[in-house]
Structure 1
Amino acid sequence: MEKFIYIALFAPLVGSLIAALFSTQPKTAFTGWFTSFMLAVSMYASLNLLHFIYTTDTILQITLFDWIVIGNLNIPFGFVVDHVSVVMMTVVTVVSTMVHVHSIGYMEHDKGFNRYFSYLSAFVFSMLVLVMSDNFAVLFIGWEGVGVCSWLLIGFWYHKESATWAANEAFIMNRVGDLGLLLGMFLIYWNIGSLQYDIVFAQVSTLENSTLVWIAALLFLGAMGKSAQFPLHTWLADAMEGPTPVSALIHAATMVTAGVYLVIRSNELYTLVPEVGYAIAALGAFVAIFAASMALVNNDMKRIIAYSTLSQLGYMFVAAGLGAYWVALFHLATHAFFKSVLFLGAGNVMHAMDDELDIRKMGGLHKKMKSTSIIMAVASLALAGIFPLAGFFSKDKILEAAFNADALVLWGVLWVTAGLTAFYSFRLVMKIFFGEQNYSNEEHHPHEAKNFVIAAMIPLAILAVIAGWFEHSFVEFVTKILPTWKASNLNHSTAWILILITSAVAIFGIAVAVYKYRNSGFSKNWETTGIYKLLSNQYFIPKFYENFISKPYYAISVWMWKVVETKLIDASIDGLAHFINKLGVGIRPIQTGNLSSSLRLMAVGLIFGLVFALVLSVL
């Protein structure tokens, strides 16, 4: 089975390198289909590995080469395929394959077609390095790889200032979190002497509690940056400047899920410091309702779905923080399927509406785009957590985990968020497909996407429906290495009551959205209220960052350049050079080449030297 590990890992890299050869050439469909084929090969290998590990419970580990060997530091470039990593590999490759195929249609008329597919496949390769690594150092290589590729893809249309700004924001914001991850890795090596997962997690229980808290907190800081948790969250919505399939990949299968994966992978550590775990869960619950509230009023189609991702990441961190690691991984997987469908569907709508993003300028598109409409409606039902779709099974388990842990405040926050999620999901669907038409037929000529584009979405839509049905098999599989979480405080009747209550609030949210947006929606007076302005301006957090962080930092940088660098450092170095030059010019006359003059100078120098030595001896 070792060959399948190499195939799964390196097939996307081969596709990326081949596409890169054509990066400066005019668009050729070959690059799109070849990279898609290589992703399909990687998906096939991943599915084979999943089947092998499911049937044999064998953990596969390989070492490509010895990477860093210095003294006691020995870091191999190695990979492990176990019950957790193979689930991630499967999710990443399945979603990425469909995104690649969809992108062939979406990017059909783009001049950077070849370059795009090179970046996209490199993105997937970096994510596979991240999830397949058997130590923190190789994980960090993949971690930075997805960061670089996201920068390239978010700023893909670099001629747009908004795209380059968003790419830089995402890159810089992630560097803040990455510093925390690096410091956590340094602490691990300082105290354990290794970065290998098996060695670290075998010895982590021997460390002092304060050290464990610091390591856990620093690793989570890295997760906060990558998974866009408050206050490092602003880049996620702005990342919508990139091509829409990129958003599907970032939000569903790569990058933002890396932070959740890091916490799940480090479960042995977080189990030892439940106080850090509870802090993670509390922050996750806050982010869940915080992001959902902003999605309620936003009118940008892609940003609404982006805020939804941010909210669902909060759900995942609640589960992981409370020790229900398999639940977090389960929701990560189901979320990947319905969220990728929503973004790909949004891409279809953008093409149909000449890149329009404002949902207030849409409406009535169901007649023109029935396939996209039905698929997005199904995905929205899954996101809302409606039975029997995938989101119902995974989201309800997170609410059960919160209730079981007696974290009733967190449960209440997540319950309210479930209602908000259902509302904004169907607000989006109604405003785009079923509401009143708000565009002129002369301005737009909406049409359905090509057949192969729709075909790429169908497998993901099917998984968004049926993935939750495999809950018991999933639990049995991943709990071979993850802690077995059970709702020990819940009896059967209580669990059913919780399910009914959560389903009721979700159905209520859908009903309100359908009723209100079937025609005109809410009154325009709502948009003049303070709460609307607060939500539509993202709680004024971006303005706060701009006025109290970015502008002061820029002003300090300008002052440092003008005063410290130019007047102090540059002036002192220039002054020293000028002084030495003048000194040289001043003493040049003594170099006459006359032997008598040279002897006299030597005698004078000898006398001064003797006098100086005499003075020193007396003192």
Structure 2
Amino acid sequence: MEKFVYIALFAPLIGSLVAALFSTQPKTAFTGWFTSFMLAVSMYASLNLLHYVYTTDISLHVNLFDWIVIGNLDIPFGFVVDHVSVVMMSVVTVVSTMVHIHSIGYMEHDKGFNRYFSYLSAFVFSMLVLVMADNFAVLFIGWEGVGVCSWLLIGFWYHKESATWAANEAFIMNRVGDLGLLLGMFIIYWNIGSLQYDIVFAQVSTLETSTLIWIGVLLFVGAMGKSAQFPLHTWLADAMEGPTPVSALIHAATMVTAGVYLVVRANELYTLIPEVGYAIACLGAFVAIFAATMALVNNDMKRIIAYSTLSQLGYMFVAAGLGAYWVALFHLATHAFFKSVLFLGAGNVMHAMSDELDIRKMGGLHKKMKATSIIMIVASLALAGIFPLAGFFSKDKILEAAFNADAIILWGTLWITAGLTAFYSFRLVMKIFFGEQNYSNDEFHPHEAKGFVIASMIPLAVLAVVAGMFEHQFVEFVTKILPTWEASNLNNATIWILILVTSGVAILGILVAVFKYRNGGFSKSWEDTFIYRLLSNQYYIPKIYEVCISKPYYAISVWIFKVIEVKLIDASIDGLAHFVNKLGVKARIIQSGNLSSSLRLMVFGLILGLVLALVLSVL
């Protein structure tokens, strides 16, 4: 089976390199189909590995080569395919394959078609390196790889200032988190002498509690950057400047879940420091409702879905922080399916509406885009957690985990968020597909996407429906290496009450959205309230960052440039150069070529030498 490991890992890289050969050439459909084919090959290999690990319970370890060997430092470039990584591989490759196929239609008129597919496949390769790594150093290579590729993809339309600004914001904010991850890795190596997962997690229990807390906190800082947790969250919504399929891949199914994967992978560490885990869960619950409230009033179609992603990441961190690691991984997988298909559906709507994003300028599109409408409704129902769709099973388990841990405030926060999620999901659906038409037929000519584009969305939509039904098989599989978690403090009656209460608030949210927006929505006076302005301006956090961080940092940088660099460093170097130049001018006489001058200098030097010799002899 080792060959499937190599195929799964390197097939996307081959696709990326081949597409790169055509990057400066006019659009070549071959690049889109070839990279999609290579992703399909990677998906086939990953699903084969999933079947192998599921049926044999054998993990595969592959060392490509010895990477860093210096003294006691021995880091191989190695990979592991076990019960956790193979789930991530399967999710990443399935979603990526469908996104690649969808992108062929979405990017068909773009001048950067070939370059786009090279970047997209490179991203998938980096993500696979991240999830398949068997040590923290190789994970960090993939971690930085997805960061670079996300910068390239978010800023793909580099002629737009907003796109380059968003790409730089995402890149810089992730660097803040990455510093935490690096420091955590340094402390691990300093105390254990290795970065290999199996060695680190076997010895982590021997470390002092304070050291464990430092490691756990610093690793989570890295996860905060990648998974856009408060206060490193602002980049995620701004990253919607990239092509919509990029949002489906990076900001729904893969890169933003890397932080959750890191916490799940380091479960042996976090089990020993439950206080840090509880802090992670509290932050996750806050982010869940924090992002959901911003989605309530936003009118940008992609940003609404982005805030939803941010909110669902909060749910995942609640589960992981409370020790329900398999639940976090389960919601990660189900969320990837229905959220990616929501973004792809948004891409179809954008194409139909000449790249319009304001949902206030849409309405009544169901008649002209029935397939996209139905798929997005199904995905929205899954996101709302309606039985029997995938989101119901995974989200319900997270609420059970909070209630089981007696974290009633966390449970209440997530319960309210579940209602808000259902409301804003169907606010989006109603504003786009139903109600009154709010666009001119002379300006817009809505039409359904091409057949193969819809076909690429159907597998994800099907998975969004049925994935939750495989909960028991999933639990049995991943708990071979993850801690077994059950709602041990809850009886069956309590669990059923929780299910009914959670489903009830979700259904209520849907009904309120459908009723209000079928009848024109809320009055305009709502938009003049302080709460509306607070939510629509993202609680003024971007403004606070600009005033308190960006502008002071810029002012300090300008001062350092003018005073330290120009007046001190540059002036010192220039002064030294001028001194040497003047000294050279003064000494130029000894190289005049005049024989008389040379003889006089020779005699002067001889006399000076004799005087010095005499003085030294006397002393």
Q: Provide TM-score, normalisation by structure 2.
A: 0.97
How do 1:561-580 and structure 2 match up within 5 A?
561-580=561-580
> How far has the Cα of 1:609 moved from its partner?
8.2
1:536 equivalent in structure 2: 536
Q: Describe the shift of the 1:32–1:611 C-alpha distance in structure 2 as closer, same or farther (beyond 3 A).
A: same
Give the letter for the 1:6 counterpart: Y
Please give the secondary structure, in 2, of the residue aligned with 1:13: helix
Shift of 1:253: 2.3
2:248 aligned with 1:248: yes
CA distance, structure 1, for counterparts of residue 464 and residue 496 of structure 2: 23
Displacement after TM superposition at 1:442 (Å): 1.1
CA distance in 2, matches of 1:613, 1:305: 90
Bigger mean CA deviation after superposition, 13-22 or 83-92 = 13-22
Q: Which residue of 2 aligns with 1:463?
A: 463
**In structure 2, do the counterparts of structure 1 residues 611 and 101 end up closer, same or farther at CA, with 3 Å as the change threshold?**
same
Give the residue type in structure 2 aligned to 1:492: N
Matches within 5 A, 1:426-445: 426-445=426-445
| 1:605 to partner: Cα distance | 5.8
Match of 1:72 in 2: 72
Q: Which whole-Å deviations, capped at 9, do the CAs of 1:362-397 have from their partners, x for residues lacking one?
A: 001000111100110000000000111000000010
Question: Given residue 485 of structure 2, which amino acid in structure 1 is its aligned partner?
Answer: W
Amino acid at match of 1:483: P
Whether 1:18 aligns to 2:22 is: no
Per-residue Cα deviation, 1:514-566 (whole angstroms, up to 9, x for no partner): 01001210010000000000000000111111111111111111111111111
**Pair 1:83 & 2:83 matched:** yes
Question: Which residue is equivalent to 2:608?
Answer: 604
- Return the letter of the residue paired with 1:274: P
Asked whether the 8 Å contact 1:363–1:434 carries over to 2, the reply is yes
Relative distance call for 1:524 and 1:64 in structure 2 (3 A) is same
Describe how 1:37-52 pairs up with structure 2 within 5 A. Answer: 37-52=37-52
TM-score, normalising length from structure 1? 0.97
User: Residues 601 and 298 (structure 1 numbering): CA distance in 2 closer, same or farther, change over 3 Å?
Assistant: same
Partner of 1:296, secondary structure, is: helix
**1:393 maps to what in 2?**
393
Give 1:371's aligned amino acid: A
**Change in CA separation of 1:606 and 1:218 when aligned onto 2, cut-off 3 Å:** farther
RMSD: 1.5
Q: In the alignment, residue 239 of structure 1 is paired with which amino acid?
A: A
Aligned to 2:2: 2
Q: Deviation string for 1:260-282 (max 9, x for gaps)?
A: 00000000111111111111111
Looking at structure 2, the residues matched to 602 and 178 of structure 1 have their Cα atoms a distance apart, in angstroms, of 66
Q: Deviations over 1:70-90 (max 9, x none)?
A: 111111110000000000000
Where does residue 377 of structure 2 map in the other structure? Answer: 377
Give distance in 1, aligned partners of 2:613 and 2:187.
Answer: 55
Give a deviation string over 1:230-256, Cα, whole Å, max 9, x none. Answer: 111011000000000000001232210
Corresponding position: 1:144 with 2:144: yes
* Structure 1 unaligned spans of 5+: none
Cα distance change of structure 1 residues 7 and 562 upon mapping to structure 2, 3 Å threshold? same
Output aligned runs, 1:395-544, within 5 Å. Answer: 395-544=395-544
Pairing of 1:105-144 with structure 2 (within 5 A):
105-144=105-144
Change in Cα spacing, 1:411 to 1:594, as seen in structure 2 (3 Å) is same
In 2, Cα distance between the equivalents of 1:185 and 1:609? 63
Distance 2:606 2:589 in 1: 15
Given the alignment of the two structures, is residue 321 of structure 1 paired with residue 321 of structure 2, yes or no?
A: yes
Distance change >3 Å, CA 205–CA 328, structure 1 → 2: same
Structure 1 partner of 2:336: 336
Contact 2:130 2:138 in 1 (8 A): yes
Q: Is the 8 A contact 1:436 1:519 kept in 2?
A: no
What is the one-letter code of the residue matched to 2:585? V
Please name the residue that 2:309 is paired with.
309
Q: 1:164 maps to which residue? A: 164
Change (3 A) 1:606 1:53: farther
Q: Does 1:194 align with 2:198?
A: no
SS for the counterpart of 1:83 is coil
Cα distance change, pair 613–12 in 1 and its aligned pair in 2 (3 A): farther
- Taking the aligned partners of 1:611 and 1:411, their CA distance within structure 2 comes to 93
Quick check: 2:253–2:339 contact (8 Å CA) kept in 1? Answer: no
Q: Secondary structure at the match of 1:355?
A: coil
Secondary structure at the counterpart of residue 64 of structure 2 = strand
Whether the aligned pair in 2 keeps the contact of 1:154 and 1:240 (CA below 8 Å) is yes
Give the C-alpha shift of residue 493 in structure 1: 0.6
Look up the SS of the partner of 2:183 in the other structure. Answer: helix
- 1:587 CA displacement: 4.2
User: Whole-Å Cα distance in 1 between the matches of residues 613 and 286 of structure 2?
Assistant: 76
Contact kept, 8 Å, 1:251 with 1:339, in 2: the verdict is no
Distance 2:524 2:491 in 1: 47
- Which whole-Å CA distance do the structure 2 matches of 1:609 and 1:376 have between them? 97
- By how many angstroms is 1:451 displaced? 0.8
Cα 1:578–1:497 change in 2 (3 A) is same
State how 1:354-373 maps to structure 2 within 5 Å. 354-373=354-373
Looking at structure 2, the residues matched to 477 and 444 of structure 1 have their Cα atoms a distance apart, in angstroms, of 50
Q: Which amino acid aligns with 1:601?
A: G
SS of equivalent to 1:27: coil
SS in structure 2 opposite 1:25? coil
Greater alpha carbon shift after TM alignment, 603-612 vs 218-227: 603-612
Which amino acid letter does the alignment assign opposite residue 296 of structure 1?
L
Query: 1: distance between equivalents of 2:106 and 2:503?
Result: 36
Q: Distance in 1 between matches of 2:429 and 2:250?
A: 22
Number of residue-to-residue matches in the alignment? 615
**Partners of 1:236 and 1:306 within 8 A in 2:** yes
What residue identity is the alignment partner of 1:206? T
Amino acid at match of 1:34: F
Q: Which residue of 2 aligns with 1:257?
A: 257
Residue deviations 1:45-90 (CA, integer Å, cap 9, x gap): 1110000110000000000111111111111110000000000000
Cα distance in structure 1, aligned partners of 2:615 and 2:306: 81
Report the CA distance shift for 1:405/1:609 in structure 2 as closer, same or farther (over 3 A): farther
What SS does the corresponding residue of 1:66 show, helix, strand or coil?
A: strand
1:207-235 C-alpha deviation (Å, 9 max, x unpaired) = 11111111111111110000000111011
Answer with 515-524 or 597-606: which moved more: 597-606
Deviation at 1:596, TM superposition (A): 5.8
Residues 612 and 334 (structure 1), Cα distance of their counterparts in 2 relative to 1, 3 Å cut: farther
Q: Secondary structure of 2:228's match?
A: coil
User: 1: CA distance between counterparts of 2:12 and 2:263?
Assistant: 26
Decide whether the 8 Å contact of 1:292 with 1:421 is kept in 2.
Answer: yes
Q: Output the amino acid matched with 2:605.
A: L
Distance in 2 of aligned mates of 1:242 and 1:206: 46
Cα offsets for 1:104-140 (capped at 9, x unmatched): 1111111111111111111111100000000011101
SS of equivalent to 2:297 = coil
CA distance in 2, matches of 1:375, 1:533: 32
Distance of 2:54 and 2:513 partners within structure 1: 42
Tell me the equivalent position of 2:235: 235
The whole-number CA distance in structure 1 between the counterparts of 2:187 and 2:71 is 18
Preserved CA contact (<8 Å) 1:183 1:218? yes
Counterpart amino acid of residue 553 in structure 2: Y
Distance, in Å, in 2 between the alignment partners of 1:276 and 1:324 is 14
Q: Does 1:353 align with 2:353?
A: yes
Deviation at 1:590, TM superposition (A): 5.8
Residue 601 of structure 1, CA deviation = 3.5
User: 2-side partners of 1:6 and 1:575: how far apart?
Assistant: 59
The answer on whether the counterparts of 2:245 and 2:347 sit within 8 Å (CA) in structure 1 is yes
